[in-house]
Structure 1
Amino acid sequence: MSNLASQRHGRHEHHHDAGAFVKAVASTCDLRGLRLTPLRLRVLELVAASPKPAKAYDLLDQLKDEHSGAAPPTVYRALDFLLENGFIHKLASINAFVSCHHPNEAHQVPFLICDVCSAAIEVCDERVSRLLNLQAKEHGFRPAGQTLEVHGTCADCASH
Structure 2
Amino acid sequence: MLDTTLVADEKAFSGAVTLRLDQADRYCTTHGARLTETRRQVLGLILSSEKPLGAYDLLDHLRAYHRNAAPPTVYRALEFLAEHGLIHKIERLSAFVGCTHRLECHHGEGCGHRAQFLICRHCGVARELEDNAIGVALTHAASRASFRMETATIEIEGICAACQDAVP
Give the unaligned 5+ runs of structure 2: 1-15, 106-110
CA deviation after TM superposition for structure 1 residue 157, in Å: 0.5
Give the equivalent residue in structure 2 for 1:84.
83
Structure 1 residue runs of 5 or longer lacking an equivalent are 1-16
Which deviations, in whole Å up to 9, do the C-alpha atoms of 1:72-113 show, x marking residues without a partner? 111000000000000011100111101103132441211111
Match of 1:5 in 2: none
Q: CA deviation at 1:144?
A: 4.9
* TM-score, with length taken from structure 2: 0.80
Which residue in 2 is equivalent to 1:154?
160
Aligned residues with identical type, % of pairs: 42
Q: State the TM-score, normalized to the length of structure 1.
A: 0.84
Which residues in structure 2 correspond to 1:75-114 (within 5 Å)?
75-104=74-103, 105=105, 106=111, 107-114=113-120
Match of 1:117 in 2: 123
Write the distance in 2 (CA, Å) between the matches of 1:56 and 1:117. Answer: 19
Alignment of 1:1-160 (within 5 A): 17-104=16-103, 105=105, 106=111, 107-160=113-166
Q: CA RMSD in A?
A: 1.4
Shift of 1:69: 1.0
If asked which structure has higher relative contact order (CA below 8 Å, sep 6+), I would say 1
Distance in 1 between residues matched to 2:80 and 2:36, nearest whole Å: 10
Count of aligned residue pairs for this structure pair: 144
SS of 1:103 mapped into structure 2: helix
How far did residue 136 of structure 1 move? 1.6
The residue type paired with residue 54 of structure 1 is L
- Contact 2:28 / 2:35 at 8 angstroms: preserved in 1? yes
Deviations 1:11-47 (A, max 9, x none): xxxxxx3222212111111211211111111111111
